[in-house]
A and B are shown apart, each in its own frame.
Chain A
Amino acid sequence: MIAAATTIRPAPASSVTKNACKLCAPLGACLVLRGVEGAVPFLHGSQGCATYIRRYMISHFKEPLDIASSNFGETTAIFGGQANLREGLRNVVRQYAPQLVGIASTCLAETIGDDVGFYLRQIAAEGGEPLPELVHISTPSYTGTHVEGFHATVYALVEALAKPGPRHEAINLLPGMISPADLRYLKGLLSDFGLEAILLPDYSSTLDGPIWDEYQRIPPGGTPIEAIRRMGSARATIEFGSTWDRSHTAGTLLEERFGVPRYELPAPMGVTQTDRLVDVLGELAGRPLPSGHAEERGRLIDSYVDAHKYIFGKRAVLYGEQDLVVGLASLLAEIGMVPALCASGGKTGRLQEQIVALEPDLREDATVLEGADFAEIEAHAAAGHFDLAIGSSKGYGLARKLQIPLIRVGFPIHDRVDGPRLLHLGYRGAQQLFDRIVNAVIAAAQDASPVGYSYM
């Protein structure tokens, strides 16, 4: 136990972020827009933002990821971006024939005070070639992180598109920032319960698709726009994540505006949290857990029993998006590990409270850092004893320095090939994480052994 669990700041707050544990808001916007059928992400700002974000995301997803830009020049920065926005939109329509363009405003556009909403109304009123749905999202990178950009975009899409209507049986599922494999898993789970799901976003095939016969202007897949419209008359909304501003979530909006009941759940990581999701699904479907999933759950607990000794009391550094860290902390707690350092670059003030809400014992055992960068995480990690690190590729340097294994999860995975196929959620995701964690601990002990062994 290195410290009581408070959001601690032992050193004076630094004026400089060293090796950030967060990305900027427009990246989150682009990720969501890639999960809407026929949509093109459009960044209103300099060309560099689009290109950097493309490169960063392509290195993880290994899929085409076109992001348009209004390409500000010096005169744009002085006179405003309306002309560039108009020209940019026209060119995107000509090249991509999109059903929707999501326009996320960058720090430059926001700082010069561009009123994108007004510009879009004007451009739409001008007539000419028909325009697709245009949705504006305000994502200046000087507020929040990519996570805020992600949620703001889900919110903006629902706000712009969802309509009232006669109730139907579909369930809205707002899963937050998870992997394509997680999205596929959730779709399968709901379908096995006999529930129709509207997932937003759904980049399960747009960002992890099969090889193509010919080039696709926009990768096939994603949440259909028609489905987003129907979210207003769905039977219920299930929203994952608990660390962000609840007053401004798409689920709350659907509840307040259209009376769609909202279930808030933590990301279903591990048996305990997956059980909570499964209970809600069972209630909605009026049937018990389908047998295949019940077997997965049984096998998972069986494997916990088989392997508990190898990991009991092992201490881990967790870092990444706050909801991911909450989910991982809960998973580790249920298998007897100690999530001794839980860190995020995000800063909503809720990380510690939410970890403790799921796992009260962690109040004593976990040090929680919000608004942290990797320099700070590393300093804390170096001051204690840790057995492994769990997080994105960006913690590789930390793990290497501490000579502990790194279990790669979340985003970005820039130094392995399977980022989009990593599964974190549900019994199946817990099984994969558990196996990887236990094997890493076993391998570390095996490698450290002076004699080596092939039987244990």
Chain B
Amino acid sequence: MLPILEARKSQIHETGAEPFRMTCEKPSLAGSVSQRACVFCGSRVVLYPIADAVHLVHGPIGCAAYTWDIRGSLSSGPELHRLSFSTDLQERDVIYGGEKKLYKALIELIDQYHPNAAFVYSTCIVGIIGDDVVAVCRRVESERGIPVLSIQSEGFRGTKKDGYRAACDGLSKLVGTGPTDGVGKTSINILGDFNLAGETWMIRDYYQRIGVEVVATITGDGRIEAIRRAHGASLNVVQCAGSMIHLAKTMEERYGIPHLRVSYFGIEDMAKSLYDVAEFFHDASIVERSRELVRAEVAAIMPELRRYRQALEGRRAAVYTGGAFKAFSLVRSLRTLGMKTVLVGSQTGNQEDYELLRELCDEGTILVDDTNPMELSRFVQEKEVDLFIGGVKERPIAYKLGIGFCDHNHERKIALAGFEGMLNFAREVHSSVMSPVWKLVPRRRRAPS
């Protein structure tokens, strides 16, 4: 049996066992082979979809190279976000400092691409070699007249969550700097959707159809001007709460804008996202339109969903996500398809998240925090799962053992949010679980089903 490190045992729990105690929100154990990335990763993924800004990674080449055009975030206009820029620090820069190179790089990029803002991401060594990134940003900002934001995302300064926070700090410097003329009362910002495969557009369309104005989408299909006027909205609707809650809280303190936590994955959560917003505005017509929309959209997808459910009933799934909020929606969506989640976890969940997961899942479900390949492979074998939902790093674990896999990470090219997305999700799950290739896998052949 695959070993579990003693120091990791408090981050694993099987539901039903008492007492329930889950250690979480702590740095990964050295040598454990965590699936997490770093602070830089957190900042980079959150700001990535802002399409009319240049994103300059200050450091040696790796960090920029590994994040070049890797997200499925779409833009309706400019596509600067798909380019990878790096100061590509060399040994001499490490010795003499990289400030001059950073300055020149920013000037070159701004003059060449005419962005509406620039983000500068600090990588691990920037603080250590003593670069004053803030001063360089300030100088370029005054010389070129666009916001130039320093994102303090040195990889070792915490976890991915600290990177989210650094990104939100950058965004909160933009919010409030633009005019709010023409923004109506019934208006929201969509926070924490990244327009993977056009999902932000679907969600924006739903809200507009029920009569709610969308001021800024942060950061899916993001634009600097829209972010600058986001404080004109009456409500922040926050998905992927882990990454964006910090910005929502800042806007609440600063501008008195309340926020709602939502999820757009699965029928129940999607419908609730519309109803909650409708309720917030105390407007009977919005409530009525939401009901009509949900009714029509659900009716449109139900016949096909039912067919998939018939085939999938009783199958077992494992779910491992970055933020825990998506895991809740996935457990519910799988249930809609008749499937049972037997292993679930996240890289960055907190105590409250795991408490919720425990309530949501059936008895005997394994919960894991900041897990690793050894634990995941042990539990998927033990629990005989038919499907694994995760990201690129989990895929070979599933495939090597002959288990179906669905990508629910930021690389994907298929929209999984909203009602339409639920149907896509069902198709994805169905084509993963029902493929005849599993019949050829020796391990699956032997397993009783």
Stretch of B101-109, B284-292, B334-342 at the chain-chain interface = B101-109
A90 near B31: Cβ-Cβ < 8 Å: yes
Question: Which of A26, A62, A215 is the most central at the interface, judged by chain B CB atoms within 10 Å of its CB?
Answer: A215
Interface residue SS majority, chain B: loop
A108 near B91: Cβ-Cβ < 8 Å: no
Contact with A along B94-122 (1 / 0, CB 8 A): 10000001001100110000000000000
A81 closest partner in B (C-beta): B30
B443 near A26: Cβ-Cβ < 8 Å: no
In the bound complex, residues from chain A placing their C-beta under 8 Å from that of B361 are none
Question: Which of A15, A143, A397 is the most central at the interface, judged by chain B CB atoms within 10 Å of its CB?
Answer: A15
Q: Could you tell me the distance between the alpha carbons of A70 and B156 in the complex, rounded to whole angstroms?
A: 11
In the bound complex, residues from chain B placing their C-beta under 8 Å from that of A77 are 124, 128, 156
B window 57-95: CB within 8 A of A: 59-69, 83-91, 93-94
B144 at the interface (CB under 8 A from A): no
Contact with B along A103-118 (1 / 0, CB 8 A): 0001110011000000
A58 at the interface (CB under 8 A from B): yes
A64 near B400: Cβ-Cβ < 8 Å: yes
Q: Could you tell me the distance between the alpha carbons of A408 and B101 in the complex, rounded to whole angstroms?
A: 34
In the bound complex, residues from chain B placing their C-beta under 8 Å from that of A74 are 156-158
B442 at the interface (CB under 8 A from A): yes
Quote the shortest CB–CB distance from B66 to chain A (angstroms): 4
Contact with A along B190-232 (1 / 0, CB 8 A): 0000000000000000000000000000000000000000000
In the bound complex, residues from chain A placing their C-beta under 8 Å from that of B32 are 68, 71, 91, 95
A59 at the interface (CB under 8 A from B): yes
Q: Could you tell me the distance between the alpha carbons of A58 and B63 in the complex, rounded to whole angstroms?
A: 17
Of the candidates B30, B56, B374, the one whose C-beta lies within 8 Å of that of A84 is: B30
Of the candidates B2, B61, B90, the one whose C-beta lies within 8 Å of that of A23 is: B61
In the bound complex, residues from chain B placing their C-beta under 8 Å from that of A42 are 31
B62 near A88: Cβ-Cβ < 8 Å: no
A window 231-259: CB within 8 A of B: none
Stretch of B33-41, B262-270, B274-282 at the chain-chain interface = B33-41
In the bound complex, residues from chain B placing their C-beta under 8 Å from that of A58 are 392-393, 395-396
A66 at the interface (CB under 8 A from B): yes
A window 57-95: CB within 8 A of B: 58-59, 62-74, 76-77, 84-85, 87-92, 94-95
Q: Could you tell me the distance between the alpha carbons of A238 and B91 in the complex, rounded to whole angstroms?
A: 32
A18 near B34: Cβ-Cβ < 8 Å: no
In the bound complex, residues from chain A placing their C-beta under 8 Å from that of B59 are 107
B5 near A19: Cβ-Cβ < 8 Å: no
Of the candidates B28, B62, B84, B392, the one whose C-beta lies within 8 Å of that of A18 is: B84
In the bound complex, residues from chain A placing their C-beta under 8 Å from that of B298 are none
B36 near A143: Cβ-Cβ < 8 Å: no
B145 at the interface (CB under 8 A from A): no
B30 near A70: Cβ-Cβ < 8 Å: yes
Contact with A along B313-350 (1 / 0, CB 8 A): 00000000000000000000000000000000000000
A22 at the interface (CB under 8 A from B): yes
Question: Which of B32, B36, B59 is the most central at the interface, judged by chain A CB atoms within 10 Å of its CB?
Answer: B32
B68 near A20: Cβ-Cβ < 8 Å: yes
A62 near B156: Cβ-Cβ < 8 Å: no
Q: Could you tell me the distance between the alpha carbons of A15 and B87 in the complex, rounded to whole angstroms?
A: 7
A15 closest partner in B (C-beta): B104
A27 at the interface (CB under 8 A from B): yes
Quote the shortest CB–CB distance from B99 to chain A (angstroms): 12
B128 near A91: Cβ-Cβ < 8 Å: no
A64 near B396: Cβ-Cβ < 8 Å: yes
| Contact A52/B395 with A69-B31, A142-B90, A214-B381 known, Cβ cut-off 8 Å | no
Number of interface residues of B (CB under 8 A): 74
Q: Could you tell me the distance between the alpha carbons of A120 and B32 in the complex, rounded to whole angstroms?
A: 19
In the bound complex, residues from chain A placing their C-beta under 8 Å from that of B69 are 397
A68 near B33: Cβ-Cβ < 8 Å: yes
A49 closest partner in B (C-beta): B62
B155 near A70: Cβ-Cβ < 8 Å: no
| Contact A46/B38 with A70-B31, A214-B381, A217-B374 known, Cβ cut-off 8 Å | yes
Q: Could you tell me the distance between the alpha carbons of A413 and B101 in the complex, rounded to whole angstroms?
A: 32
Quote the shortest CB–CB distance from A100 to chain B (angstroms): 15
In the bound complex, residues from chain A placing their C-beta under 8 Å from that of B146 are none
Of the candidates B65, B90, B155, the one whose C-beta lies within 8 Å of that of A108 is: B155
Measured as residues with beta carbon below 8 angstroms from the partner, the interface class of chain A is 35 or more
| Contact A71/B401 with A20-B88, A63-B396, A141-B61 known, Cβ cut-off 8 Å | no
B399 at the interface (CB under 8 A from A): yes
B377 at the interface (CB under 8 A from A): yes
Quote the shortest CB–CB distance from A341 to chain B (angstroms): 21
A309 at the interface (CB under 8 A from B): no
Of the candidates B61, B91, B129, the one whose C-beta lies within 8 Å of that of A24 is: B61
A47 near B94: Cβ-Cβ < 8 Å: no
In the bound complex, residues from chain A placing their C-beta under 8 Å from that of B439 are none
A140 at the interface (CB under 8 A from B): yes
In the bound complex, residues from chain A placing their C-beta under 8 Å from that of B33 are 50, 66-69, 92, 95
Of the candidates B40, B90, B128, B158, the one whose C-beta lies within 8 Å of that of A143 is: B90
| Contact A54/B393 with A71-B27, A87-B30, A94-B5 known, Cβ cut-off 8 Å | yes
A298 at the interface (CB under 8 A from B): no
B156 near A73: Cβ-Cβ < 8 Å: yes
B37 near A47: Cβ-Cβ < 8 Å: yes
| Contact A47/B62 with A19-B68, A55-B392 known, Cβ cut-off 8 Å | no
In the bound complex, residues from chain A placing their C-beta under 8 Å from that of B300 are none
Question: Which of B59, B69, B105, B124 is the most central at the interface, judged by chain A CB atoms within 10 Å of its CB?
Answer: B124
Quote the shortest CB–CB distance from A111 to chain B (angstroms): 4
A211 at the interface (CB under 8 A from B): yes
In the bound complex, residues from chain A placing their C-beta under 8 Å from that of B400 are 63-64, 211-212, 215-216
A48 near B397: Cβ-Cβ < 8 Å: no
Of the candidates B62, B94, B441, the one whose C-beta lies within 8 Å of that of A26 is: B62
A140 near B30: Cβ-Cβ < 8 Å: no
A56 at the interface (CB under 8 A from B): yes
A51 near B36: Cβ-Cβ < 8 Å: yes
Q: Could you tell me the distance between the alpha carbons of A367 and B385 in the complex, rounded to whole angstroms?
A: 54
B62 near A51: Cβ-Cβ < 8 Å: no
Quote the shortest CB–CB distance from B323 to chain A (angstroms): 16
A283 at the interface (CB under 8 A from B): no
A414 closest partner in B (C-beta): B70
6 pairs across A/B with beta carbons < 8 Å? Answer: A16-B105, A17-B64, A48-B39, A48-B40, A51-B36, A211-B442
- 8 more contacts with CB within 8 A, not counting A47-B34, A48-B41, are A24-B60, A55-B66, A58-B393, A85-B30, A89-B31, A91-B29, A111-B124, A142-B94
- 10 tightest Cβ-Cβ pairs between the two chains A and B: A48-B38, A24-B62, A91-B31, A88-B31, A88-B30, A46-B155, A15-B104, A16-B105, A215-B377, A141-B60
B residues contacting A by CB (< 8 A) are 2-3, 5, 7, 27-41, 56, 59-69, 83-91, 93-94, 101, 104-105, 108-109, 124-125, 128-129, 155-158, 372-374, 377-378, 381, 391-393, 395-397, 399-402, 441-443
